[in-house]
Chain A
């Protein structure tokens, strides 16, 4: 059973940089692209970063995704109040033939 692990919570002050980690295995993060999604309260998740640190239009370069081996991370610089949200990493798992989401990290801006 593949499990992708994220810290349940993270926090930072205005203007600070916060990093959210995402730990997987060889069959998911280790073999495939990691994508990040942002979910604001009461809304559907939306794509935040994809492929090799690409961002959809509308998201500034304050959001940066990276990957090394079987782990990935999302860095958010210049924290703003609107960044308060839940963040999820996701990757295809070759052994399960399924998309695996991390458990999510709730970001609080202090």
Chain B
């Protein structure tokens, strides 16, 4: 059974940093590109970042480029999102998502909540 479990969310002040982790199991992790998608309360999903299977290609939404860094450790079946210079508008549930054929999001984690507030 495919499982994606996010961790690392919490309450943080503006300008501070947070690192999210996603533990993957039930599939061959390094066969798949992985993404982070976030969703602010009451809003629709917003794509955040993508990393290919071998970390060869990284892509970011304009809203986070230069502040967030996506990475992965295939030996640990783990995905990460380093978030720096956090802003109140970054407040959201952050989902770890598997991309099948690099095209569609076939499995989502349950999400971890990040709240940025003073």
Contact = CB atoms under 8 A, between A and B. Distances in A.
Interface string A34-62: 01010000001111001100001000000
Contacts of A47: 104-107
Nearest to A46: B108
Interface of A: 33, 35, 37, 44-47, 50-51, 56, 86, 88, 90, 92, 96-104
Contacts of B61: 98
Contact of B108 (A44, A86, A96, A101): A44
Contacts, number: 57
A44 B104 contact: no
Contacts of A100: 47
Interface in B54-91: 59-62
20 contacts: A35-B104, A44-B110, A45-B39, A45-B45, A45-B108, A47-B105, A47-B106, A50-B100, A50-B103, A51-B104, A86-B44, A88-B44, A88-B45, A98-B47, A98-B61, A99-B35, A99-B37, A99-B47, A101-B45, A101-B46
A37 B106 contact: no
Size category of the binding interface on chain B: 20 to 34
Contacts of B29: none
- By DSSP majority rule, is chain A's interface helix, strand, loop, or mixed? strand
- Chain B interface mostly helix, strand, loop or mixed? strand
A104 B39 CA distance: 12
